[in-house]
Chains A and B, each alone.
Chain A
Amino acid sequence: MASSATVFIQIWVDINAIQNGSTRGVYAVDNRVGAGSTNEGTPNLLTQVTNGSTIQWNVYNIDATSTVVPTLTAIGNANIWGAGGQPQADGTGAFVGQVQATGQDAYQVTINAQKQPGSAGITINFDPSMAVK
């Protein structure tokens, strides 16, 4: 069990579609639609959480048989992370963080992927949001 997270955000990547500076082929989903999350399946996912929740982010290739594995490189700062600071890599490829302040913020996610093993990396930034109650 990697973490005490109760909120999970999966970022699915279409390696055939990704380009530098574009969010085409990037789809984010969470396990909080029952709590009112919206924009599921888009880079603009708005996740609804309760204050104090631990959140885990993972990025995956849509083609589960591919040897191309996208990586999560950063989750940016936002007021909702509070004094605990921004989410960090947990050593398994996931990022884990805790919301410690109420409100709604966008936060930047950075992922890196190659079209083929050994080719130049493509960097993608996108800004999903989180509403903390």
Chain B
Amino acid sequence: MMSASNLVLVQTAVLQPQAFVTIAVDTAYVASQQGQNISHGVYMMDNQVSNGSTNEGQMELSTVVPVGSLIGFNTVPINPGSGDTVIITGFTVSQGSVFGSQGYPQQQPPIGTEPVGAYWIGQAMNVGHQTYQIQIKVTVGQLRPISYYVNWDPFITAK
């Protein structure tokens, strides 16, 4: 039985991250390597180099943010006309606790025409340094699409 009174409207404010990480992916390269041992073709950049971030443009980006910052993570294919897609499938933390449990990244509504899963937000809840893992799903081809999963270990420092 469905009626309007059964529906609960949860209105969430659109979050505005103070820090932002873009992950640009050479999808054809990832496919050419079958998603295995990827050390090129995935480029991470943030908007925190003035705050001390290092390894910009590399897989092992080390982001530095003020504690409390919301951090946006957004994936994009470098070839926009290919129809290939890149989304984030999840995060883990292997060392440190900058996110804690409260700031663990959550998937957000996509930005513009991006696919669901391309945009996530985490929050740097605790001062310190953490090694975390991002896993992305790279889908190549449109007639018979094939997906490859890639994960790696960047860093976040909150101060």
B-contacting residues of A (Cβ < 8 Å)? 1-3, 5, 8, 10, 12, 14-17, 24-25, 27, 29-34, 40-42, 58, 60, 62-66
Instruction: Across the interface, name the chain A residue whose C-beta is closest to B20.
Output: A63
Bound together, the chains give a CA A19 to CA B81 distance in angstroms of: 32
Q: What total count of A-B pairs have CB within 8 Å?
A: 95
How distant is the Cα of A65 from the Cα of B47 in the complex, in angstroms? Answer: 12
Q: For residues 62 through 93 of chain B, which have their beta carbon under 8 Å from a beta carbon of chain A?
A: 72, 74, 76, 78-81
Looking at chain B's contact residues, the main secondary structure is mixed
- Further contacts, 15 of them, CB under 8 A, given A14-B47, A64-B72: A8-B81, A14-B46, A14-B48, A15-B47, A17-B50, A29-B43, A29-B57, A31-B27, A33-B26, A34-B26, A34-B28, A40-B43, A42-B57, A65-B16, A66-B20
Query: Bound state CA distance, A27 and B49, in angstroms?
Result: 11
User: What residues of chain A lie closer than 8 Å to B50, measured between beta carbons?
Assistant: 14, 16-17, 25
Contact B49 A17 (CB under 8 A): yes
Asked if residues A62 and B46 are in contact (CB atoms below 8 Å), the reply is yes
